[in-house]
Amino acid sequence: MNVQIPPRDNSGIALTQEGWKALSNPASIALVGASGRSSSVSFTPRFLETNAGLGYRGDIYLINPNRDTILDRKCWRDLSSLPVSPELVIISLPDEKVLPAVHEAIACGARAMMIHSGGFGERGEAGLLRERELQRACGEAGVAALGPNCLGLMNLTTGVSLSSFKLSPGLNKGSVALISQSGSVAGILMHVAGRHGVSFVASTGNEAVTTAEDLIEYAIADPATKLIVCFIEALRRPHALFALAERAHRAGKPIVVLKAGLTEKGGEVSRGHTGALAGSGAIYRQAFEQAGVILVEDFDELAQTVELLATIKSAPRGCRVGMLGTSGGELGNITDLCEELGVELPPFSADTLAGLQDWLVLPKDVRPRNPVDVGTGFNFAGSYEERMRGAIRVVAADPSVDLVVVMQGFHREGENLQFSLNREMMNAAARESASIDKPVAVLACQSGRLDEEVVAEVRTASVPALEGAREGLRALRHLDRYRRFLSRRSIPAAAPAVPGAPDVPQPWENGLVPQAGLFRHLEAAGLPVTRFGLARSADEAEKIARNLGGRVVMKIDTPRVVHKSDIGGVALGVTPQTAAERFAKLKDCISPPLGSEPGEAVFVAEELAGGVEFYVGAKRDATFGTVVVLGMGGRLLEILGQTAPLVFPFSEDDVSRAIEKSGAAKFLSGFRGAPKADLAMLARLVRHVGAYALSFGERLEVLDLNPMIITAEHPGGCIADARLILGKGE
């Protein structure tokens, strides 16, 4: 049987305070499907061992009808035979036995569940049906549920584990919340953040009921959490993103995301892993950027970004870096990377250059610069550590420097650390960080060679130790972009109201809305369109051209042709004198002739000459619904192929940045004598177009306004051509 299941929508199932309390600090736990098997992946022994290590003080009940004891603990037949109603139930059973256990848990009064079992949305139509039933049952009962197909949650703040996670020596209690839709990645995140201290770690799996967004919400409210780190395959409640991000910004808690499935193939893998239906990677990137969420590209970049954000003592006023090191070769390479990645190395002031010249006792013909090669101070009488400390003070005093970075290896050069140059440089950075008023970080060009004894003083001084030149610089860039976002952030106003336009004209069978009807609808919605008319005869064409004055554009209005200019279906520069002749040619450019199908005619519009062509469109994304796309219009849209998306809700500032990203800004600024756009007016118009597109809801398939013409009379743009395709919706 071919069962068609619509995309999942979890928006109606909220994680309540009671549900979060049961997940984060349950008074009692029942494990249904407890097993005495002992292996590297056995759930029961890991679950018991971790709770013992955390010092969990609640009651744990093991459920298995075929055993009296498991691992020297009493075993119960079923939930109804327990002396109390467990607050939380963990289910670790074969997939076909999960739903009966879920209903039993609800009947016995459980307030939350963790479903370790797989075999749901990630495994075909039968699994999807089971997942939908799980969602329905928990939704009706108001019960929180992690999973299915997940490893669970471990809360180091409250000291409880609902998972098969193991405690490791490098994992400490602290302020980083880790939320992952993949269980194995949750283990990587613990390795990345364990040294900084973890408040809780959650593997959320298929998220049939309780989603990553729910856990982000509670991480924001959690007093123990200061930084939120997520691995996301797909957002189940994408429209909660912006409100959650704004709450996180107000709470001073950055959100860092590593997103899988940003490519088409990656999205296919994600769907097979947790049943996640991924939307466009470009749209996800834009949504995270608009929301001020830090998106990293890989695990190494994630590790360095967490190191920087979790360790740095104070946020820099900017990200202009004063850099020092002892290797001219490495500094040359790092300078290239800074240029490539947009990390600014500002020129030092004359006072700073003079100070470095004096402190390092440089010959007159050796000129310091940014970055500073401290190794050239060969006439300095003191130790390398003293040399670096003084140079740090001089660089930190420069008014153009916001952040001091010492570039040096973190590896052990020999057995005797007393004579280690790397350790001297690390100690210099650590000791100076306490006396200067600007943050300090250390950076090793090569990753994977960190010796804890070499960086011991850096660790104690809370100086970030970044491994890998590219990954470390990207972390610095993330910090700068996040700072910039916070400085300019504003909550986007609601989409502008669209005036009460008449009903949308009836589309043709293929969903295409006739051109003249669409222009009337756009005009009624308050959007600027060129003057136009619809001709069904040569006489009408001539009359409309005369009324519009000047030159006009004529094009066939039919559902039978997509690219009208390819078959001669568009005529430019038409005058009243040539309108009748052009009408006849347009009518015969298709067979059977134009007018053979109901509603076909020739669309006539004034020609806006000498303008700049811009494009604004809208489409549906699998995750975020209606999105707007903009860029250069006309033929440049096809030639350049460069556009930028916008995700709702977006502000006029977001539009301005999207115009820059699309490459259109230089063409709109009076390029080579062309008309100069009023960017503020254009941004308002793009928001208005977005509201118009949004008004169609799920019926919208494609809206293309191409071109919108920028002229001296229309500096904010005027719609010269439009296409709207509507589906039937639901």
Query: What is d(CA 642, CA 246) in angstroms, rounded to the nearest whole number?
Result: 30
Residue 261 has a pLDDT of 83
3-state secondary structure of 533: strand
Element of type H or E holding 90: strand 88-91
The values of phi and psi at residue 153, to 5°, are -130, 140
Mean pLDDT for 222-233 is 97
Q: How confident is the model at residue 345 (pLDDT cuts 50, 70, 90)?
A: very high
Mean pLDDT for 341-367 is 94
Residue among 697, 716, 542, 729 at smallest CA distance from 625: 697
Round the average pLDDT of the chain to a whole number and report it.
90
Mean pLDDT for 306-322 is 93
Mean pLDDT for 600-625 is 92
Strand ranges, E, within 185-252: 198-203, 227-232
Q: How confident is the model at residue 501 (pLDDT cuts 50, 70, 90)?
A: low
Query: What is d(CA 54, CA 60) in angstroms, rounded to the nearest whole number?
Result: 14
Residue among 472, 420, 422, 482 at smallest CA distance from 443: 472
The least confident of 54-58, 93-97, 267-271 is 267-271
Q: Report pLDDT digits (tens) over 524-582.
A: 999 999 999 999 999 999 999 999 988 999 999 999 988 888 899 999 999 999 999 99
Residue 478 has a pLDDT of 97
Q: How confident is the model at residue 45 (pLDDT cuts 50, 70, 90)?
A: very high
Residue 634 has a pLDDT of 79
Q: Report pLDDT digits (tens) over 640-694.
A: 778 899 999 999 999 999 999 998 888 888 777 788 989 999 999 999 999 999 9
Q: Are 445 and 329 in contact, with CB atoms under 8 Å apart? A: no
Residue among 180, 228, 231 at smallest CA distance from 204: 180
The least confident of 46-50, 113-117, 353-357, 374-378 is 374-378
Mean pLDDT for 206-233 is 96
Q: Report pLDDT digits (tens) over 425-472.
A: 999 999 999 999 999 999 999 999 999 999 999 999 999 999 999 999
Residue 151 has pLDDT above 90, yes or no: yes
Residue 80 has pLDDT above 90, yes or no: yes
Distances in Å between the Cα of 193 and the Cα atoms of 186, 310, 608 are 10, 9, 59
Burial zone of 397 (CB within 10 Å; 0-12 exposed, 13-18 middle, 19+ buried): middle
Residue 277 has pLDDT above 50, yes or no: no
Residue among 222, 172, 210 at smallest CA distance from 193: 172
Q: How confident is the model at residue 495 (pLDDT cuts 50, 70, 90)?
A: low
Residue 7 has a pLDDT of 40
Q: What is the CA radius of gyration of the chain?
A: 32
Residue 278 has a pLDDT of 42
Q: How confident is the model at residue 194 (pLDDT cuts 50, 70, 90)?
A: very high
What's the pTM?
A: 0.90
Amino acid at 660: E
The values of phi and psi at residue 294, to 5°, are -80, 115
Q: Report pLDDT digits (tens) over 90-115.
A: 999 999 999 999 999 999 999 999 99
Percent of residues, the chain, with pLDDT higher than 70: 94
Residue 490 has a pLDDT of 75
Mean pLDDT for 331-336 is 96
Spell out the domains of the chain, with CATH numbers in brackets. 17-296 (3.40.50.261), 311-488 (3.40.50.261), 531-606 (3.30.1490.20), 612-726 (3.30.470.20)
Residue 547 has a pLDDT of 94
Helices (H), 98-240: 98-107, 124-141, 183-193, 212-221
Percent of residues, the chain, with pLDDT higher than 90: 78
Q: How confident is the model at residue 333 (pLDDT cuts 50, 70, 90)?
A: very high
Residue 68 has a pLDDT of 94
Greater model confidence, 270 or 486: 486
Burial zone of 557 (CB within 10 Å; 0-12 exposed, 13-18 middle, 19+ buried): buried
Residue 3 has a pLDDT of 29
Residue 59 has pLDDT above 70, yes or no: yes
The least confident of 323-332, 398-407, 633-642 is 633-642
Residue 633 has a pLDDT of 87
Strand ranges, E, within 563-713: 570-574, 601-606, 612-621, 625-632, 643-647, 700-710
Residue 2 has pLDDT above 50, yes or no: no
